[in-house]
Homo-oligomer: A and B are copies of this chain.
Amino acid sequence: MRNPPAAAGPAPDLAARAPETLPHPGFGFDVLHRAADSAARVGRLTTPHGALDTPNFIFCGTKAALKAVTVDQAREADADIILANTYHLMIQPGADTVAALGGLHALTRWDGPMLTDSGGFQIFSMGHGGVAQEVKGSGGRKRETSLLRITEEGAAFRSYLDGRTLFLSPEGAMDVQRKLGADLVVQFDECTPFHVDRGYTERALRMSQRWADRSLARFARDEATSANGLPQAFYGIISGGVYRDLREDSCAFAAGRPYFGTAVGDCLGGDKEQMYEVVSYCTPHLPAGRPVHLLGIGNFRDILIGVTLGMDTFDCVHPTRVARHGWALKKGAKGERVNLRNARFREERGPIDATCPCPTCREYPAGYLHHAIKAGEMVGMTLISIHNMATMTRLMRDIRQGIATATLPQVSKDWLGE
């Protein structure tokens, strides 16, 4: 059952003051090139676990695992940064267990930069039976909701594992992320679905802003340091749904807070065109000098457009999820990908993509991947995942090169096959 967020201010015991400054030692973001004709930029994001060039793509290791790919294979695919999900990990194996094992880096053996989200997106989007379903207008069967209630204090929801009731507050989301120990952590916000009206979205924005200050206050109280003793950096979220003035309000609010980075989140609209428009509302008002992450976006086209709108990093399960179903991403291909289950690959001795330098394309005939996927062999999922990850990192390299050499429109045409 969904309760509308309270219109009133915070309850007294939940009041929290955002810190005016935050040290963020060991972190940095430098803009190295700016495009002349768009908000696109090349940057360098530094963390205690190394630096990465932006624009870049963050691969999803939801439950502290990149599904069919080991971290060694992720490195071979030139991945620079991965993320894990607070929502999934607080349930399994639990934040305390991750902390007892030394944090996510020790656990996964990923030694590069890592981000955790706040859990908000999963709680609210999965809680509503999947926002994606609604956005695509496919309606259909009403899925059971796992979201129980939203109050000023936080959100109650059912565990995906055993159905028990769990509760996450802004402070709790920070506590969990502190124990998980990623480099980059994200504030807890209410992620609104597409069907709600402006009034709801505005009330949710105000509450998310109060939650942002509570998140920041907890983060500052713990001295911006993980349970493992390493510094962490804070990303605030830009909310406001599809409403220009609310997005601008959210950007202004963020500019007044000592966030390290900015993540553009909340409902981005009902279709791609609206998503680009909503992101463009934010572009001129994004707090200067901070890295900007666009949450949950992973198609070539969306990334290529997102980059021109000033986005520095992206994340999506798309590249690895579709790989496990036999889809290989491909530069210039119609729909950005090919289906390796297709019979035309049965006796194909060439690679998925002759222009791709990834370990899978260097070694394996597409016919083998066709066979392995059809036969349900895990190694097929692994090899295609490696290719898809390498394709994303190649896309991001080409984009950076395109910005630096003022050839981004051509890069875009090449990747989209136009």
- The answer to the question of A294 belonging to the interface, with a C-beta cut-off of 8 Å to chain B, is no
- The answer to the question of A6 belonging to the interface, with a C-beta cut-off of 8 Å to chain B, is no
Complexed CA–CA distance, A64 and B359 (Å): 19
- The answer to the question of A43 belonging to the interface, with a C-beta cut-off of 8 Å to chain B, is no
Contacts of A73 in B (CB 8 A): 70
* B349 lies within 8 A of A67 (CB): no
Contacts of A66 in B (CB 8 A): 379
Complexed CA–CA distance, A63 and B372 (Å): 8
Nearest B residue (CB) for A73: B70
* A65 lies within 8 A of B375 (CB): yes
Complexed CA–CA distance, A382 and B72 (Å): 12
* A379 lies within 8 A of B70 (CB): yes
User: Interface centre among A359, A365, A372, A378, by most B CB within 10 Å?
Assistant: A378
- The answer to the question of A32 belonging to the interface, with a C-beta cut-off of 8 Å to chain B, is no
CB within 8 Å for A368 and B63 given contacts A68-B379, A70-B382: no
Contacts of A371 in B (CB 8 A): 63-64, 92-93, 97, 107
Contacts of A363 in B (CB 8 A): 109
Complexed CA–CA distance, A205 and B363 (Å): 44
CB within 8 Å for A108 and B368 given contacts A101-B347, A347-B100: yes
- The answer to the question of A106 belonging to the interface, with a C-beta cut-off of 8 Å to chain B, is yes
Within A66-86, which residues are at the interface with B (CB < 8 Å)? 66-70, 72-73
Interface bits A106-133 vs B (CB < 8 Å: 1, else 0): 1111000000000000000000000000
Complexed CA–CA distance, A64 and B379 (Å): 10
Complexed CA–CA distance, A276 and B242 (Å): 74
- The answer to the question of A380 belonging to the interface, with a C-beta cut-off of 8 Å to chain B, is yes
Chain A: residues with Cβ within 8 Å of the partner, total of 41
Q: Nearest Cβ in chain B — how far from A59, in angstroms?
A: 13
Instruction: Select one of B106, B107, B372 contacting A65, CB under 8 A.
Output: B372
- The answer to the question of A241 belonging to the interface, with a C-beta cut-off of 8 Å to chain B, is no
* A107 lies within 8 A of B365 (CB): yes
CB within 8 Å for A365 and B101 given contacts A92-B374, A92-B375: yes
Complexed CA–CA distance, A69 and B107 (Å): 20
Nearest B residue (CB) for A98: B371
- The answer to the question of A346 belonging to the interface, with a C-beta cut-off of 8 Å to chain B, is yes
Q: Nearest Cβ in chain B — how far from A330, in angstroms?
A: 20
CB within 8 Å for A109 and B364 given contacts A347-B100, A371-B92, A371-B97: yes
Instruction: Select one of B65, B370, B378 contacting A67, CB under 8 A.
Output: B378
- Taking A64-B372, A65-B379 as known contacts, 17 extra A-B pairs with beta carbons closer than 8 A to each other, sorted by chain A number, are A64-B371, A67-B379, A70-B379, A70-B383, A92-B371, A93-B367, A93-B370, A93-B371, A93-B374, A97-B347, A100-B349, A101-B347, A101-B365, A101-B367, A107-B367, A108-B368, A378-B378
**Contact residues of A with B, CB < 8 Å?**
63-70, 72-73, 92-93, 97, 100-102, 106-109, 346-347, 349, 359, 363-365, 367-368, 370-372, 374-375, 377-383
A to B CB contacts below 8 Å, 17 in the list: A63-B371, A63-B372, A63-B377, A64-B368, A65-B375, A65-B379, A67-B378, A68-B378, A70-B379, A92-B374, A97-B367, A101-B347, A101-B365, A101-B368, A102-B349, A107-B365, A109-B368
